[in-house]
Amino acid sequence: MPDLTQPADPDTTPPVGPRVDTTPRPLPARVPHKGRSVDLEPLHIRHTPDLWRACQSDGTGESWAYLGYGPFADEAALRGFLGGFATTHDPMAWAVRPHRTGTADGWLTLMEIHPAHAHIEIGNIWFSPRMQRTRAATEAMFLLMRHAMDDLGYRRLTWKCNALNAPSRRAAERLGFTFEGTLRALLVVKGRQRDTAWFSMLEEEWPARRAAIEAWLEDGNWDAQGRPKASLAR
């Protein structure tokens, strides 16, 4: 269990936390991000045809089990959802276009944006089954993590998920997030109680994780069959 005790200012009574830079951080902007294996494009209804085809790769609906929306009955229903989802500022969504397929195969967002507290979250992630557990999936998440921490200068990046969502918990730990605890009976999602597992990464932890992920994404870490030679797990 990690030590979550906050350091205290030794010169104060009663104890309070250390002073920090109180400058509000910038809001994210709807701009594209380009990587080695994937591009992120501000989500738009023009992505609907690609994303509808991506939805068809999930014959069981399992990829939607822990999200508050989906699966969608038809392409028109997906388009209606994207029409609203693509225009919100929190969450702010990007479509994910792996170079391998050339099509939009999922989306992800920056959300819970608190500029005054330098706190931001990566979440609302939906990757089609054909994109899950790929180099492009990891790089898509990394591009937004890097944008939040390096470009915008946030101090705290969070990840939360249904406490029963084992793949999401593994992804958070693999990327280097620290488990903080479980908030019990926090939400009702699709008529079911949701306990929420909470993870975080702080600005002082980010450089080491950035270097580890960048090394994992390097072309030299991938064999001819597109498999990583080294693991990213801590």
**Which run of H or of E encompasses 119?**
strand 119-127
Q: What is the mean pLDDT of residues 160-169?
A: 98
- The end-to-end CA distance of the chain, in Å, is 15
- Range 171-199 average pLDDT: 98
Considering the segment(s) 33-221 as one domain, its CATH architecture is 3-Layer(aba) Sandwich (3.40)
Residue ranges covered by each domain of the chain: 33-221
pLDDT of residue 3: 54
Report yes or no: 55 and 69 within 8 Å, Cβ to Cβ. no
What is the per-residue pLDDT for 110?
98
Q: CA-CA distance, 164 to 9, in Å (whole number)?
A: 38
Distance of alpha carbon 119 from alpha carbon 180, whole angstroms? 15
For residue 213, give the 3-state DSSP assignment: helix
DSSP of 36-85:
SSEEEEE--GGGHHHHHHHHTT-SS-GGGTTSSS---SSHHHHHHHHHHH
Q: How far is CA 198 from the centre of its chain?
A: 13
Across the range 212-217, mean pLDDT stands at 97
DSSP 196: E
What is d(CA 106, CA 131) in angstroms, rounded to the nearest whole number?
A: 8
pLDDT tens readout for residues 1-37: 445 566 888 888 899 999 999 999 999 999 999 999 9
Residues contacting 126, CB < 8 A, separation 6+: 63, 64, 67, 70, 106, 107, 108
Is this model's pTM higher than 0.85 or not? yes
pLDDT digits (tens, 9 = 90+) for 61-94: 999 999 999 999 999 999 999 999 999 999 999 9
- The predicted structure's pLDDT at residue 115: 98
